[in-house]
Amino acid sequence: MDDAQLDGMVVDALRHAGADPAYIRAYKRTGVLITTDNFKRWRKRELEEFREALEEWERLWERRN
């Protein structure tokens, strides 16, 4: 299994679990899957990139509605 296949499986699992689309997009943009269980394991820059991806989704969503 290559990285693209693994990413696809993670995205499918997130969708199936009912994850927020912003969270899915942040994962796809950053390759980071942040949870309350693993939050402390990530570096500050990774957390910032994930947060920025979430905020970008919110801005795009607001423009559409």
pLDDT at 51: 94
Residue written as tokens 């995205």? 11
Distances (CA, A) of 38 to 33, 42, 44: 9, 7, 13
DSSP letter assigned to residue 37? T
| Domain that residue 20 falls in | 3-64
* Average pLDDT score over residue span 18-44: 93
pLDDT of 27 over the 80 cut? yes
Question: In Å, how far are 6, 18, 24, 26, 45 from 13, measured between CA atoms?
Answer: 11, 9, 10, 15, 26
Work out the pLDDT band at 3, boundaries 50, 70, 90. Answer: confident
Total domains present in the chain: 1
pLDDT at 15 over 90: yes
**Tens digit of each residue's pLDDT (9 = 90 or more) over 42-56:** 999 999 999 999 999
